[in-house]
Structure 1
Amino acid sequence: MTPRETWETDVLIVGGGPVGLALTLDLRYRGVPFLLLEAGDGRIGHPKVGTVGPRSMELFRRWGVAGAIRSAGWPGDHPLDVAWVTAVGGHEIHRLRMGTADSRPEPPWTPEPEQVCPQHWLIPLLVRELGAHPAGPLHLGCRLDGFVQDDDGVTATATRLADGAPLQLRARWLAGCDGAFSPVRKALGIPAPPFHRTRTFRNILFRAPKLGELLGPRRALVHFLVRPPALRYPLRSMDGDELYRLTVTAEAERHLDAMTLLRTAVAPDTPLELVSEHVWHLTHRVADDYRAGRVLLAGDSAHTLSPSGGFGMNTGICDAADLGWKLAAELAGWAGPALLDSYTAERRPVAGRSLAEAHTHLRRTLDRTLPEEILRDDAAGARARAALAEQLEREGVRAEFDAPDTHLGFRYASPLIVGDPDGDDGTWRTRALPGARAPHARLADGTSTLDLFGPAFRLLCFADPAPMTPVTSAFAHRGVPLHVTRCPDRTTARLYGRPYVLVRPDGHVAWRGTRPPLDPVLLADTVRGAR
């Protein structure tokens, strides 16, 4: 009988997708020991997610990998446009001009705009960064078989798939980042009821080595098909060169082979090579709870939503950022009893709003009428396409591809957040609001205010110097890490809106005031979940 290998760690992560890897990055950043189990080998044969959103890029910046993501392979001169077309290279109906990664101006609200980096680049990049066993903490090719928890931790059993060797792991906490059909969530018995009916799609991955050259200035990141009767989903460039992905419904086009669909979707007579097909199920679910004892859920194991808008992976990466510092606090001993419970309270409403926003974009696509006339080459066809272009403009289709409010504007409302008795005086773009992401501003040395946040709580002081000893002493007495930064920059002071702003390790505003906190001990206990 093969002896059972036994490993011990503080946090066991199950699932090596973008969210599980993001959580490992955050734990590494905070010096927390962890192990990750992933049944796959760290390679992606059929990539899904293509764009890393701005908030995720800000977090990757904190974790030291934003530069690697930006240099992963997407050409800086390739258009980021979205074009609605009857076929790629056919009639173009409407175009959102988004510039290129090299030419677009930096948005005022973030130093890290979204970046195209499909999963077949992103996952191997993060795996290399973290390191696979035996040199690193990622245990690839290992399948979780089960787990039990007690008052002190979680004991998990697993199998190394290469040789069938049994494994036993002991951790103080377990994070289930194991996807939409999460065995971890099912083992916990946590319901994830559907919001809308399940839909089935086909993703067709193909190569067209000469297509980009043929299109020239008509290239786009996304060619959104509007071709009656049923082609109404994106055809997306996956590498800015020759790799593309077409999405179709499995219901409407199930009788058509992949190459027939590709020849319909691509107008020029150009070589097309089928790479692979993937059938997937679109579900719209949010788990009733993100925690059961010492086991927590993140990413698709906690919520699944339409890819319309690109919110799914990015919602999960923000889960990791919220969960990471709270687990670190628990392990360091300064967390209050309510800190980890606040994870569900803060992240579950964000998932619900992201799901609703994504479904709005999906319904716009599903409900859009596509008249046959738009395919015609005569004057009637031109009129029909012009009318459809006006309709697209009225529908506000830009919101699906340019959504800073969804990516950056969410706010937490939990017992850890201290409300401002004077109320709100702006939006996330113009003020540091309690519960919201602390805003980006360029500092005198060229860095961002965002670069101040992460290792500890950060108290920003924009007023004339005041004694901070009572605050630092109160936080030190509770073991809560705190840095105090005096910021004389007037532009940043106006943006933050209050002379004193306390920012959490995840970069969200915990408290703000016109004077130093009157009861620093109460503030320290509140933000660590002890009130």
Structure 2
Amino acid sequence: MTTTADTSMQADVLIVGAGPVGLTLAMDLASRGVSVILCETRRFAEPPNVKCNHVASRTMEQFRRLGVAQQLRDAGLPADHPNDVVFRTSVTGTELTRIPIPCRRDRYTETEGPDAWWPTPEPPHRINQIYLEPILLRHTAALPGVTLLNRTQFERFTQDADGVRAVATDMDTGATRSIRCRYMVGCDGGSSQVRKQIGAKLEGTAVIQRVQSTFIRAPKLRELIPGKPAWSYYAMNPRRCGTMFAIDGHETWLVHNHLNAEEPEFDSVDRDTSIREILGVGPDFHYDIISKEDWVGRRLVATRFREGRVFLAGDAAHLWVPYAGYGMNAGIADALNLSWLLGACVQGWGDEAILDAYEAERLPITEQVSQFAMDHAQKMIRARRAVPSDIEAPGPAGDALRAEIGREAYALNVQQFCCGGLNFGYFYTGSPIIVPDGEHRAPPYSMGEFTPSTVPGCRAPHFWLADGRSLYDAFGPGYTLLRFDRSVDVRPLERAAAAYRMPLTVLDIETASLPKAYAHRLVICRADQHIAWRGAHLPADVYDLVATLRGESRRERGRRRALAWEGVLA
């Protein structure tokens, strides 16, 4: 970590906000040799709020590339603690159904169950942000080229044709800092000052549900919970429905109390009574409140993600009910989509117009994913309202009712917690740096299901190489050309890429266990694992293909053609 007392600083990229999204963006940019300043209001290592509990597979794949996946796997719940999701009449009540999810000890080896089939080197990981963020912070702070400014408040910015000048205030001394950068990214949350200053507005559904969240310490709770432990507990009874997450696997828990439609104000609901109804404990049960937070579930998406050299990512760009764990994970997907594009510009091989791909790709996907989350939220709200008054009745009739409710809860929620579609199914269309081939359309996907595909814009389906490495482990820092037939001469493309210093890694594939989606002899993959082009042979004009991949503007293409005519690029 670099520290400085200067009031004037400069870097390639200024990131406002050092939460998981900002830290991941900084990590990836640093891996590309891009200098970064992180501006954060909190003190160094100040504990984050108890929020996200799930790191998606796509996020873990990128953390693998960035060198922190194993550290994250080793943190959080105990290695043998089940990551199951269980539905009960209360946390300590009767079990209705259970979605089995492997503990982290068995995450790479388990093959049975709805969450054990993932076609990836890095399945999901259940870990709370209070454990996740410190690991990301320590890793990022140690990287060369990264300057972390804690207790620093971003104030305002101006931009010109060459860069951005931001003004920030040292919150302890009141000193003003002037920061000059080529690009700036607002990762500063739902109340983003960066978003407000570029004139973007959040639009959508302002209120879907209200939730009281309480982080508690209850050492005696685990012994009251019957049966096998779980990571997540859903309480369903006519008095109060809620959710509880195991945080350390021993004595700390996060309890979400979902307010009903007729409870529009947070203070209209007694927090303690609600917690006891969710847990299924009486007034004599003792617990301590560590922290509490009341929040509103929304579906809001910014009207734009960019203004010139200034970009938005994460909660600054979109807010929605965090079903399927896709609040933080969608923000990290933003960061990893943007980082390699910024890297291409800073490194000099990408045309400035390549940055147009960020909003063209991420804004439509954000709309899709937020709709998935909102749709699921509405279904869950209806399910909570429909809990039968006799769900806790003893005897065969009660057993039959609970079995029926359990089946319904499983069918509705297995797609949320085993969300292969949200991880691997989404695709980019209408992007200026993806070359459609007109053969097929990208297959549709749902929250839980998807069809592997090599249609340009889709995620490159994973497979293991003959040497035992993951396909993604062999990807280069820019583009990677997968060659499935060595007889295809790809030297013209290599020469064209070299002419513009565009990083192109040629990977000859030798394995007998290919996904059937790979039906073309050549497939070009991007740094973020999405497919940019495919074909049986190279196009006649390889320079035109490279022009698309490096995001050339029309003006630059005209200049390139002139140079080619003069023989400079022959």
Q: TM-score, normalised by structure 2?
A: 0.88
One-letter amino acid of the counterpart of residue 254, structure 1: D
**Cα distance, 1:198 vs structure 2:** 5.1
Residue of structure 1 in register with 2:565 after alignment: none
* 1:77-88 paired onto structure 2 within 5 Å: 77-88=80-91
Tell me the distance in 1 between the aligned counterparts of 2:435 and 2:313: 25
Matched, 1:98 2:101: yes
Query: Separation in 1 of the partners of 2:141 and 2:362?
Result: 29
Q: 2:310 matched to 1:267?
A: no
Structure 2 distance, partners of 1:179, 1:515, is 45
User: Alignment partner for residue 142 of structure 1, among 117, 130, 152?
Assistant: 152
CA distance in 1, matches of 2:300, 2:457: 24
In structure 2, distance between residues paired with 1:288 and 1:464: 46
Q: 1:149-168 residue pairs with structure 2 within 5 A?
A: 149-168=159-178
1:480 corresponds in structure 2 to: 502
Name the stretch that deviates more: 262-271 or 168-177: 262-271
| C-alpha distance in structure 2 between counterparts of 1:87 and 1:294, whole Å | 51
Corresponding residue for 1:402?
A: 418
* CA distance in 1: counterparts of 2:99 and 2:547, whole angstroms: 48
Return 5+ residue gaps in structure 1 as ranges.
Answer: none
Q: How far apart in 2 are the matches of 1:495 and 1:307?
A: 31
Cα displacement (A) at 1:289: 1.2
- Shift of residue 45 of structure 1? 4.9
Distance in 2 (CA, whole Å) between partners of 1:133 and 1:404 is 32
Give the aligned partner of residue 421 of structure 1. Answer: 438
Q: Is the contact between residue 286 and residue 304 of structure 1 (CA under 8 Å) also seen in structure 2?
A: yes
Matched with 1:10 is 12
Matches for 1:89-488 after TM superposition, within 5 Å? 89-103=92-106, 104-105=110-111, 107-131=117-141, 137-195=147-205, 197=207, 199-215=209-225, 217-229=227-239, 231-249=240-258, 251=263, 254-267=267-280, 271-368=286-383, 369-393=386-410, 395-413=411-429, 414-423=431-440, 429-488=451-510
- Pair 1:72–1:274, CA change in 2 (3 A): same
Q: Secondary structure at the match of 1:372?
A: coil
Q: CA contact under 8 A between 2:36 and 2:145: conserved in structure 1?
A: no
Contact 1:109-1:429 within 8 A present in 2 as well: no
Per-residue deviation at 1:501? 0.5
Structure 1 residues 192 and 46: CA distance shift in structure 2, 3 A? closer
**Alpha-carbon distance between aligned partners in 1 of 2:251 and 2:338, rounded to the nearest angstrom:** 38
Identity, % of aligned positions = 35
Aligned partners of 2:528 and 2:488: how far apart in 1?
26
CA contact (8 A) 1:259 1:274 kept: no
**Alpha-carbon distance, 1:495 to partner:** 4.5
The alignment status of 1:498 with 2:520, answered yes or no, reads yes
- Return 295-304 or 247-256, whichever deviates more: 247-256
For the structure 1 residues 63 and 119, does the alpha-carbon distance in structure 2 shift closer, same or farther, using more than 3 Å as the test? Answer: same
Corresponding residue number in structure 2 for 1:39? 41
Take 1:90 and 1:309, find their aligned partners in 2: how far apart are those partners?
Answer: 25
Q: Which AA in structure 2 matches 1:232?
A: C
Cα distance, 1:494 vs structure 2: 4.3
Check 1:297–1:500 CA distance in 2 against 1; reply closer, same or farther (3 A cut): same
**Equivalent residue of 2:227, what SS?**
helix
Q: CA deviation at 1:216?
A: 5.7
Q: Amino acid of the residue matched to residue 212 of structure 1?
A: R
Q: Residue 311 of structure 1: CA displacement?
A: 1.1
Question: Partners of 2:91 and 2:377 in 1: how far apart?
Answer: 21
The CA distance in 1 between the partners of 2:20 and 2:87, in whole Å, is: 29
Contact (CA 8 Å) 2:25, 2:336: kept in 1 or not?
Answer: yes
* Aligned-partner SS, 1:512: strand
Aligned length: 527
| Change in 2 beyond 3 A, CA 1:165/1:198 | farther
1:418-458 Cα distance to aligned partner (Å, 9 max, x none): 11232259786543221111121111222100112251211
Amino acid paired to 1:332: Q
Distance of 1:503 and 1:31 partners within structure 2: 21
**Structure 1 stretch 493-502 or stretch 338-347: which is displaced more?**
493-502
Shift of 1:124: 1.1
Shift of 1:132: 7.4
How far is the alpha carbon of 1:377 from its aligned partner?
3.2
Where 2:267 maps in the other structure, the secondary structure is coil
**Amino acid in structure 2 at the alignment position of 1:400:** Q
User: Quick one: which amino acid aligns to residue 295 of structure 2?
Assistant: W
- What amino acid sits opposite 2:257 in the alignment? V
Superposition map of 1:54-73 within 5 A = 54-73=57-76
Deviation at 1:108, TM superposition (A): 4.5
Do the aligned residues in 1 keep the contact of 2:211 with 2:295 (CA within 8 Å)? yes
Q: What's the counterpart of residue 49 of structure 1? A: 52
Q: How far has the Cα of 1:211 moved from its partner?
A: 2.4
Deviates more, 1:232-241 or 1:425-434: 425-434
What's the secondary structure of 1:398's corresponding residue?
A: helix
Gaps of 5+ in 2: 445-449, 554-570
Q: Match of 2:447?
A: none
The root-mean-square deviation of aligned C-alpha atoms, in Å, is 2.2
Q: Is the CA contact (8 Å cut-off) linking 1:232 and 1:365 kept in structure 2?
A: no
Judged with a 3 Å threshold, the aligned counterparts in structure 2 of structure 1 residues 187 and 289 are, in CA distance, closer, same or farther, namely same
Indicate whether 1:525 and 2:542 are aligned: no
What is the CA–CA distance in structure 1 between the aligned matches of 2:348 and 2:74, rounded to whole Å?
Answer: 39
Shift in CA distance, 493/92, structure 1 to aligned 2, threshold 3 Å = closer
Cα deviation digits, residues 61-117 of structure 1 (max 9, x gap): 111110111112322211111111111110211211223222333534111111112
The question of whether the paired residues in 2 share the 8 Å contact of 1:454 and 1:506 is answered with no
Instruction: State the distance in 2 between where 1:487 and 1:365 align.
Output: 45
Q: Distance in 1 between matches of 2:81 and 2:223?
A: 12
Match of 1:27 in 2: 29
Q: Which position in structure 1 is the counterpart of 2:560?
A: none
**Which string of whole-angstrom CA distances, capped at 9 and with x for unpartnered residues, describes residues 348-373 of structure 1?**
11111110111111111111201110
State the match for 2:529 in structure 1.
507
Deviations 1:17-39 (Å, cap 9, x if unpaired)? 11111100110111100110010
- What is the alpha-carbon distance in structure 1 between the residues aligned to residue 218 and residue 145 of structure 2? 38
TM-score (norm 1): 0.94
SS of the aligned residue for 1:126 comes to: helix
